[in-house]
Every structure is written in structure tokens, then in C-alpha cells.
Structure 1
Amino acid sequence: MTALSPDLQPTRAAQGQNRWQTLVTQLAGLLVILGAWWLVTDVFKLYPPYVFPGPKAVWTEISYGLWGTGPQDGKLLSAIGGSLRRVLTGYVIAVLLGVVVGLMMGAWRPLRTTLGAYLTGIQSVPSIAFVPFAILFLGLNERAVLFVVILEGFIPVALAVSGALLNVPPALRVAGRTLGASSLGLIVRVLLPASVPSILTGLRTAWSFAWRALVGGELLIAGAASLGEQLEIGRNTANVALVLATIIIIGVIGGLFDSLLRAAEGRVRRDYGLEVPQ
């Protein structure tokens, strides 16, 4: 692989400056959103507080739920812990299962043309549609939630692995066979390493699917510490501030994990020469 000439390689200072510019832009956008929210709710009072509370009321619920004292003292923190435990368990199982099935589909055409088509069709079904089936089949418990999380996370991984194997340049296949690689060795030593960037994209998609499926399933489980339960409590008590606070936390957690996976994906793509450092 030909290295970039020194004048085309971004310096560390330039990369750091780009990161700071991105951060400042994002913070400015956040301030604009908070300012507009404050104007609508606290200045112009276009909606009653019990319909659309202001930023201060939502922040109060967050502080009570995470570290303060009050009706929701510590409940949001325990809800975050319970939800993360479920989604990480389901996500790990989904990734392992998806990699195995994806490898099988990539190596065996009949399986790819049958199971692959079925998985593509199932992926188009919203995750919430599987919740009633999971409850009837497994009961109103955590197993039903894990089933939906695993299903939603497994399909993107399996399809990504299968598709990545098929998109490996034919020259690599020929080179591997020329060097004496067996069918299994070709997959493990040539095709799978070459597919890593595309597989990471599938892992990131699987995370977003699994996270959304988790919250939808948790809405129907009573008594378990979860973010879905907090949404349900807010709805039952007409506490819109708690609902908005929980939605914000769900978005922040999902965004943080997506950023970590995106950073790993970008690093791998740069190592593979598929991207130029910005």
C-alpha cells in the first residue's frame, strides 16, 4: 500500500483542531435548542407546564433520579443499570449468533438465498411487533425482552457478515487458494479479516436496533428497574418532565455507545486504507 506523501498527511494539531471545531459546533447547536425550548415554555408560555415542561423541570427530574433527593431519588440511576445489563447481554449474544450464522450464509449459497431472504424480510418488521409474541411465548418477564433484543441485534450482524464476505475482492480469494488455504482457512484467514470494516458497520447498526428494541420491550415489564419502566411511570402519573428526562437519557446513552462503535469503525477503516484521516 502506497503511503500518503507528507504534505497530504494531516498533522495531529490539525486533527485536534477539527475535533474541537466539531465539539464547539455541537455545543452551539445544543445551546440553540435549549434556548428555543426555554423561550417556548418559560418565556412565552405557549404550553402549560403539565403539557410541555421547561428545561429546569426536566433537569430537576434528572438530578433527582441520578444523584439528588426527592420522589425519584436514585431510580433513574438504577433504571440505567438495569437497562444496560439487559441490552449488553442481548447484544453480545446477538453478535456471537449473528457472526456464526453470517459465516454460514456467506459460505453456503442455498442457505444465503433462503435464510438470508427471510432475515431481510423480518428486519423490515418493527421490533415492537415482536413484543406480544415474545410475551405470549416466554411470559411477561426479562426473557421476553432479551428475545426481542437478540432478534433485532442478530439480524443486522448476520446480514452484514454474509454481505461482507461476498464483497471481498476476488483477487484475495484467488491469492488465498493459490497459497494453499482450505475452504475453512480461506474464510478464517482471508475473507473474515478483509471483511472487518463492513462487519463493524453491521455491529453499529445492530446496536441501534437492539437499544430501541430494549426500550420498547421494557415498557411492558412491570416492577423491573428499567428506563422503559420510568417512561411508564411518567405516563401513569402524568409526569411529562420525567418522560422527557428519560427520553433524553435514552438518547444520550444510545448516542455514546454509537459514538464508541463509530470511532472503532473509523479507526479500522483508516488502518485498512479505506479512509483518509480528517
Structure 2
Amino acid sequence: MTVRAPTADPAPLSGTPPRWRVLSWQLIGLALILAVWWLVTDVLKLYPPYVFPSPRAVWTEVSYGLWGTGPQDGKLLSAIGGSLRRVLTGYGIAVVLGAVVGLLMGAWLPLRATLGAYLTGIQSVPSIAFVPFAILFFGLNERAVLFVVVLEGFIPVALAVSGALLNVPPALRVAGRTLGARGLSLTTGVLLPAALPNVLTGLRTAWSFAWRALVGGELLISGVASIGEQLEVGRATANVALVLATIIIIGIIGGVFDALLRGVEGRVRRDYGLEVPR
């Protein structure tokens, strides 16, 4: 009787299509959206241009704002630079503060039971609700926007770090203590590395919260180059094409940074054996 060695199944796991296939689906979807948009605006003309502009009109605003000449010459590029500076500053502060507070909550039950519950409740409040308080407290300036960004990014990081530490398998805690790790050395040397995949998920969530909070805060802060100001300029001048162009750029920037963080998260998860390479 001969025994055959098992052979690897060349077919990919269900639910994990190759990246090129996912990209092709996304490109096809984008093409369909643009085709329907063009059909509604340029062919069927279901709406007047000042209500729902065509893709060409929106692209004109983008080109004017980024590298062309016209009413918005260079203003959109300057707005993107200013907004990125603010959000990266606020996000960096939020990550540091959130990591420290999350470590403390994960290590100390009374703090987790009190502050953790408060942060969970505050997280349910929309970021735009904090903008009036920030303006009254800090004034109508960039510090008010930075406060909202830090607050919205800090809470997800703190909760993610605390929750990730609590979800570390007990066997790792026992192994760490057996090897002599105690207190801070146990947390930083054993628990935190084991919790890293879940922490990265929290960092990605914090980015989306911070990015949305930034745009909401900038809508009410005038006189500074920002993406929110471009939205307000489009509203004030009834330039729907500029509003749509700015919204699209907001989505692209947010998606690019989310994809970068998702790539780091996926790499770590594969290194930890939590995902199969595609």
C-alpha cells in the first residue's frame, strides 16, 4: 500500500482574492461611477450645472487649485498642505498620549473602570459638537482645530491599547512572569508586543476620526489655508464644482493614509501568523 504525500492546494483561500483582482474591481467600479456621472450631467442633463456639475467642471477646479491658473490658482494645494500639517501634528500628539493612557488603563483596574468608561461615552459624541467649546476656550484659531483633532484621535488609541493588552492570551502573561518579567517590563516587553496587531487597528481608526474632526473644525475657522476653508469658499460662492472637488480630495487623502496604515497592519499580522499572504 502506497501512501501519497499531501499536496498543497494551489487555489487561494476563499475570501482572499489576489490584490490585482481587487484593484481591477476598484478601477472598474470607478469607471462605472464616472460613466454614470457623465451620463447624468453631460448627456441627459438632468440637473443644471450650478446644482450638479459635470466631471469635467470638477476636474477644472482641481487643476486650477493644484497647478493651473484661474480663480483658485494654487489655493487648493496650499489648503492641502496646511490641513496635512495640522492633522499630522494632532494625530502624532494623540498617538503618544493615547498610548500612555492606554498602557496605564491596561495595567491599573481602577483607572480602566473610571476613565475607560468616560472615554467610551465621549467617543459617541460627534466631533463637530466639540468645535464650539474649542472655539470658546481657545479662540477662533488653529489651536481650537488642533484640540478637536487630538481629542478625536486620542480616545480610539487609548481604548485600543487598553483593550489589546487585556486580550493578550493568559499563557503569555504566565510565561513572562515565569521568565522574571514584572510590572512595566512585563507590559512593555511581553504584553505590548503581543497586542501590537490590535493596537495598529486602533491607530487606523484614530486616523479616520482625526481626519474627519480636522475638516469639521476647519469649516468654522476662517483666514487660514485649509481644506475646510475651501469647502466654505465653495459654499459662499455657490461653486458646487469646487465643493465636490474638495470632497473628492478629502476622500483621496484619507484613503491614501488609511491604505498606508492598513499595509503596515497587514504586514504585522502576517508576521504574527494571523493572516495568510495573498
TM-score between the two structures when normalised by the length of structure 2 = 0.95
**Structure-2 separation of matches of 1:6 and 1:176:** 38
Return 5+ residue gaps in structure 2 as ranges: 1-5
Measure how far apart 1:27 and its partner are. 0.7
> Is the counterpart of residue 210 in structure 1 residue 194 in structure 2?
no
Measure how far apart 1:9 and its partner are. 8.2
1:63-74 correspondence to structure 2 within 5 Å: 63-74=63-74
> Is the counterpart of residue 29 in structure 1 residue 39 in structure 2?
no
> What corresponds to 1:148 in structure 2?
148
Measure how far apart 1:7 and its partner are. 2.9
Give the AA of the match of 1:47.
Answer: Y
Q: Could you list the per-position Cα deviations for residues 197-239 of structure 1 after superposition, in whole angstroms to 9, with x for gaps in the alignment?
A: 0000000000000000000000011110000000000000000
> What corresponds to 1:55 in structure 2?
55
The 4+ residue runs of structure 1 with deviation greater than 6 A are none
Other structure's SS at 2:50 match: coil
**Structure-2 separation of matches of 1:59 and 1:10:** 42
> What corresponds to 2:165 in structure 1?
165
Is this contact kept in 2: 1:140–1:221, CA < 8 A?
yes
Given the superposition, is the C-alpha separation of residues 243 and 266 from structure 1 closer, same or farther in structure 2, using an over 3 Å criterion?
same
> What corresponds to 2:272 in structure 1?
272
Measure how far apart 1:34 and its partner are. 0.3
**Structure-2 separation of matches of 1:204 and 1:71:** 36
**Structure-2 separation of matches of 1:72 and 1:127:** 29
TM-score between the two structures when normalised by the length of structure 1 = 0.95
**Structure-2 separation of matches of 1:198 and 1:158:** 12
Given the superposition, is the C-alpha separation of residues 98 and 46 from structure 1 closer, same or farther in structure 2, using an over 3 Å criterion?
same
> Is the counterpart of residue 114 in structure 1 residue 108 in structure 2?
no
Is this contact kept in 2: 1:131–1:145, CA < 8 A?
yes
**Structure-2 separation of matches of 1:210 and 1:277:** 30
Measure how far apart 1:8 and its partner are. 5.8
Q: Which deviates further from its counterpart, 110-119 or 17-26?
A: 17-26
1:191-202 correspondence to structure 2 within 5 Å: 191-202=191-202
1:1-278 correspondence to structure 2 within 5 Å: 7=8, 18-278=18-278
Root mean square deviation of aligned Cα: 1.5
Give the AA of the match of 1:7.
Answer: A
**Structure-1 separation of matches of 2:28 and 2:199:** 34
Give the AA of the match of 1:145.
Answer: V
Is this contact kept in 2: 1:10–1:277, CA < 8 A?
no
Give the AA of the match of 2:89.
Answer: T
Overall identity of the aligned pairs, in % = 81
**Structure-2 separation of matches of 1:82 and 1:36:** 33
Measure how far apart 1:25 and its partner are. 1.1
Return 5+ residue gaps in structure 1 as ranges: none
